[in-house]
Amino acid sequence: MKGLVGFLLAVGALGAGLYGVTRGGREPVLSGSRRRRSRGFRGHGEQRELKIFIDNDGDLYRQQTTPIHKNLVTKIAKGVYDKTKAEKLWGYLVEAGAKKYSKEYGSNEPGEWHRTFSVADRREVARELNEEFLTEQKLGNFDHLLPKKYQRA
C-alpha cells in the first residue's frame, strides 16, 4: 500500500511540474522555454546569511571593514559625509563578501558569484551595514579611529 501511495504522490508531483499556473489557467511549461529562470538566492534569509558571513570573516573585517569605518568616521568629522556614496562604499565590501561566500560554499566557476546573491539583496545588505555603522558611530564606538585633528579634547 505504501508503494502505491508513494507512486501516486510522485506522479502527482510530476504532473504539477509539467504545468505552470498563469492568469488564464494552466499552460504547459517546457524545459526549454524562453522564460528566464532565476538561479540563486532571493529574499530576507539570503541577505541575513550574507551579512552574517561578512560580519564574521576576519580577512574581510581587517582588509575592508576597518578602513571603511575609518574613512567614514573621518568624513563625518569633516562634515562631507554622503549617505549614497557611503552605501556605494559598503557595496564594494558586500561584493567582496559575496565573491568569497560563493568561492567557499558555492561553485568555483568563474563568473558565477553574482548569481549567488541578487543585486537587490546585495544593495540591501550594504544599506543595513551603513545603518548599523551610523548607529554605532553616534554612540561613539569609532572615535578611536578619528585622526588627531578631529578628536575632541
> Using a CB cutoff of 8 Å and minimum separation of 24, what contacts does 80-88 make?
83/130, 86/130, 86/133, 87/123, 87/126, 87/127, 87/130, 88/126
Tens of pLDDT, residues 43-96: 788 899 999 999 999 999 999 999 999 999 999 999 999 999 999 999 999 999
pLDDT band of 1, cuts 50, 70, 90: low
Which burial class, exposed, middle or buried, applies to 101 when counting CB atoms under 10 A from its CB (0-12, 13-18, 19+)?
buried
Instruction: Please give the residue that has the higher pLDDT: either 28 or 44.
Output: 44
pLDDT of res. 106: 82
Q: Report yes or no: 113 and 102 within 8 Å, Cβ to Cβ.
A: yes
Cα(133)–Cα(34) distance, integer angstroms: 43
pTM recorded for the entire structure: 0.70
Angle at 46 between CA 43 and CA 49, to 5 degrees: 150
Nearest to 53, CA basis, from 118, 98, 107: 98
pLDDT of res. 52: 96
- Phi, psi values for residue 57, rounded to 5°: -90, 120
pLDDT of res. 152: 76
Tens of pLDDT, residues 86-143: 999 999 999 999 999 998 988 767 777 788 888 999 999 999 999 999 999 999 999 9
The x, y and z cell numbers of residue 31, run together, are 524545459
pLDDT of res. 14: 42
Tens of pLDDT, residues 140-151: 999 999 998 888
